[in-house]
Every structure is written in structure tokens, then in C-alpha cells.
Amino acid sequence: MPLYENVFLVRPDVSASQVEALTKEFSTIIEEGGGSVPKVEHWGLRTLAYRIKKNRKAHYVLMNLDAPADALHEMERNMRIHEDVMRHLTIRMEELEEEPSVIMKSRGSRDDHRREDRGGRGSRNDAKPRQQATPTTAAAPQNEEVPAKENAGATESVESGDKAEAGDQK
């Protein structure tokens, strides 16, 4: 039988248990059609690259399928009908990956980095303390004095009543 990978997006206001029920429903359609679903991954609620039906996030689900084309078409028809499914994509594969997908692998490494930040092994406790930047106070008075002298000359000419000279100096 042909092998497929299917990813579908579910509206963000749907609960995780409802997403699992929806996945079970689609898996049942495949199994009734004579196929099997060797692997299902729930990637969780993720941010979309662009808005889809006014939503910024969606629940992502990956399913590996070993099914005849008729069962796949029936599942896709049900996905189009179901109002909670925002998008779906099915790709035919030469072979299915049994190990976790790239998304799940990156999620695991991201969790490892978070543990390190919280003070786990190899945390910041061993790192050098941060040096605080000290502001330079010597440059500030010089910058303030120079414009003050230029402005002083301009105000003197305005006070003397000669407005044309004040405009020329600026």
C-alpha cells in the first residue's frame, strides 16, 4: 500500500482532548478503509506564519499513514467538511520515518535549553558574573558647553535688535 504523511491544523479554541478525538476519528476512517496509522504526533498549539480564518495560532497534528487511496480520499473529504480543521496537507512518501519528526526533536532540545537556564547542570552558576556598563560622565559636560556658547552669541544678536544677523549665524 502507498505511504503518506498528513499534517492538519485545528482551530486554536478547540481543546487538546477534542483534537485527540478528531485525530482518532480520522484514524478510524483510515483503518475502516483497510489502512493503518503507524505514528501520530501532536505538535501542540503553535503560531502560524500568517493568519488563517482570522486565527494566529493552530493545533498541529502529524499522521503517518499506510493506506489505500480510497481511504485517504475519504479522510480528506471529512477534513474538508469538518469546520474545526483549518488546513490539511497530505504527501506521498517513499518510506515513513519511525523516529520523532524534526519538530518534536527541536522541541526536546528547546526544553533542554530551558532546564539549563533554570539552574540545571551547566547553568549560569558556573559562568562569570555580568559586568555592568558604567556611563561616561566626562563627555557629557563638554557636549553641553559647546552648544551653549553658540546659542549665547545668537541670543546676544537678537537682543540687540538685529534679527538678520541672528538668522545668518544659524
What would the DSSP string read from start to end of 6-49? EEEEE-TTS-HHHHHHHHHHHHHHHHHTT-EEEEEEEEEEEEEE
Average pLDDT by consecutive 10-residue portion of the chain (170 residues)?
93 95 96 94 94 95 94 96 95 85 74 54 53 55 51 49 52
Same domain, 84 and 148: no
- In the prediction, which pLDDT does 73 show? 96
- In the prediction, which pLDDT does 157 show? 46
Give the Cα separation of 68 and 4 in Å (integer).
10
- In the prediction, which pLDDT does 145 show? 52
Q: Which pTM value belongs to this model?
A: 0.61
- In the prediction, which pLDDT does 101 show? 79
The range of the structural domain enclosing residue 13 comes to: 3-104
31 within a domain of the structure (yes/no): yes
DSSP state of 96: -
132 within a domain of the structure (yes/no): no
C-alpha cell at 124: 549560569
- CA-closest candidate to residue 90, choices 82, 100, 80, 99: 80
Number of structural domains found in the chain: 2
